[in-house]
A and B are shown apart, each in its own frame.
Chain A
Amino acid sequence: NAGVTQTPKFQVLKTGQSMTLQCAQDMNHNSMYWYRQDPGMGLRLIYYSASEGTTDKGEVPNGYNVSRLNKREFSLRLESAAPSQTSVYFCASKAGGYNEQFFGPGTRLTVL
């Protein structure tokens, strides 16, 4: 089991460029999440997908879109990157209900 995987690990963008962060899990989990972590902070929720076919906004959704491609995959898209989106992005999944969440290794994104 690879658990939760994310690609890429690192990315540098220029202001206005777009990109998609990929996340996949092999634990047959229903729920998937995208968080961001800024320096000296805990993680904050961007978007989540409670189950395949559903997505919803979290605490800091502005500037992002998501796609739950299938049960395994949940992608995060930045349409027009801004320096304020420089952060570390984590994907997570859980089985559903009140259960333990598992995190991917993160993507470190810098927007110049």
Chain B
Amino acid sequence: GIQVEQSPPDLILQEGANSTLRCNFSDSVNNLQWFHQNPWGQLINLFYIPSGTKQNGRLSATTVATERYSLLYISSSQTTDSGVYFCAVERSGRSQGNLIFGKGTKLSVKP
């Protein structure tokens, strides 16, 4: 099956710093989503981005489908950005329609 690898697994930042999270996937995809799982366990949709670039405030994401990777940029990080960031993909072709998740990047932002 398709493999989804995220890096780095852990990241510690000082408030105000910028960061880039990476997601590599092993096969063609028709859907890619980034999620933030907050410390209370809730999964928050950040981006639906099967290709191209999107921005939402201090966050932006880029997916290069032909090279099978996606990047999530966090600028001017805040303590509320702490949590786990997941990349998830839906495989192209005959698919159950479910998302395959990476293991996540755990981000800690220190004040």
> Do the two shown chains form a genuine complex with each other?
yes
Q: Which residues of the other chain, A, contact B101 by a CB distance below 8 angstroms?
A: 41-44
Q: In the complex, how many angstroms separate the beta carbon of B54 from the nearest chain A beta carbon?
A: 12
B40 closest partner in A (C-beta): A105
User: Which of B43, B102, B103 has most chain A Cβ within 10 Å?
Assistant: B43
A88 closest partner in B (C-beta): B41
Q: Which residues of the other chain, A, contact B90 by a CB distance below 8 angstroms?
A: 98
Q: In the complex, how many angstroms separate the beta carbon of B10 from the nearest chain A beta carbon?
A: 11
Judge whether A31 and B103 touch: CB under 8 Å.
no
Judge whether A31 and B97 touch: CB under 8 Å.
yes
Q: Which residues of the other chain, B, contact A50 by a CB distance below 8 angstroms?
A: 96-97
Say yes or no for A99: interface residue by CB 8 A criterion: yes
Q: Which residues of the other chain, B, contact A90 by a CB distance below 8 angstroms?
A: 43
Judge whether B98 and A48 touch: CB under 8 Å.
yes
Interface residue SS majority, chain B: strand
Q: In the complex, how many angstroms separate the beta carbon of B23 from the nearest chain A beta carbon?
A: 11
Q: Which residues of the other chain, A, contact B104 by a CB distance below 8 angstroms?
A: 42
Please count how many residues in chain B sit with their CB below 8 Å of the partner chain's CB atoms.
Answer: 22
Interface residue SS majority, chain A: strand
Judge whether B43 and A42 touch: CB under 8 Å.
no
Judge whether A101 and B99 touch: CB under 8 Å.
yes
Judge whether B97 and A43 touch: CB under 8 Å.
no
Q: In the complex, how many angstroms separate the beta carbon of A49 from the nearest chain B beta carbon?
A: 10
A-B interface, 5 closest residue pairs, ranked by CB to CB distance from nearest: A42-B101, A100-B48, A103-B43, A45-B98, A98-B30
Binding site for A on B (CB under 8 A): 4, 30-31, 33, 35, 41-43, 45, 48, 50, 86, 88, 90, 96-99, 101-104
Binding site for B on A (CB under 8 A): 31, 33, 35, 40-45, 48, 50, 56, 58, 88, 90, 92, 94, 96, 98-103, 105-106, 108
